[in-house]
Structures are given as structure tokens and as C-alpha cells.
Amino acid sequence: MARQPRTRRGNYQAPAQSSSAADRARTRRRQVRPVEETKSQTGRKREREGGFRAFVGESVGELRKVEWPGRRQVFSATVVVIIAVAVVGFYLWVADEAFSRLVQNVLLNL
């Protein structure tokens, strides 16, 4: 028993009630829609390809899309990282010296 499409609110007709639970279950199973196949970002249906070769091929394709930084950009980013590491290292050294003196002079009374 196929479900009739609902075009307006009042035109929907419920399927006839079956007498047994088995008939109701069969009717319910027929009404369930199958899950659609997954689609890619472009809307194209994906075909299932597996394996290492497909993985490498897709990885190479994605790496071609990457906008790689130039020499100047890499150099400036490296300088920023080195400066940030120096600042954080200096802060940690000062904090370590302060806490070690605090522990030695106040808590241990040495």
C-alpha cells in the first residue's frame, strides 16, 4: 500500500488499519524510505573507493589546492615564533627565580 502524496492539509488519507500486528509492521516497513547515498561537497554522488592508493591520490589532490607560503612569509612567521618563545621563556625564568627564593626564604627559612 503506497503512501499518497499530501498536497493540501485536508486531502491526506490515512492508510487502512490492518487487523494484525504483523500486517501493521509490514505496512510500516514499506513506508520507510531507504537512506540516500552520501554526496560530496560539489553535490556529486560519491563512489566508494577504498585502499591506500585512493588515499594517496586524494591527499595529493588536496595538497595541490593548498596555498603554500612564500619565502618571506615563512621567514616572518619564524621570527615571530622565536620572539614569542624568548618572551615566554624569560617570563618562566623570572617566575621560577621568584618562587624558588620564596620557597627558600619564607617557607623553609634557610
Q: Which domain holds residue 104?
A: 71-110
pTM for this prediction: 0.43
Kindly state whether residue 8 falls inside one of the protein's structural domains. Answer: no
Say yes or no to pLDDT of 58 above 80: yes
Question: How far is 98 from 107, CA to CA, in rounded Å?
Answer: 13
Say yes or no to pLDDT of 5 above 70: no
Kindly state whether residue 84 falls inside one of the protein's structural domains. Answer: yes
Confidence band, pLDDT 50/70/90 cuts, at residue 95: very high
pLDDT at 22: 78
Confidence band, pLDDT 50/70/90 cuts, at residue 100: very high
Kindly state whether residue 106 falls inside one of the protein's structural domains. Answer: yes
Kindly state whether residue 88 falls inside one of the protein's structural domains. Answer: yes
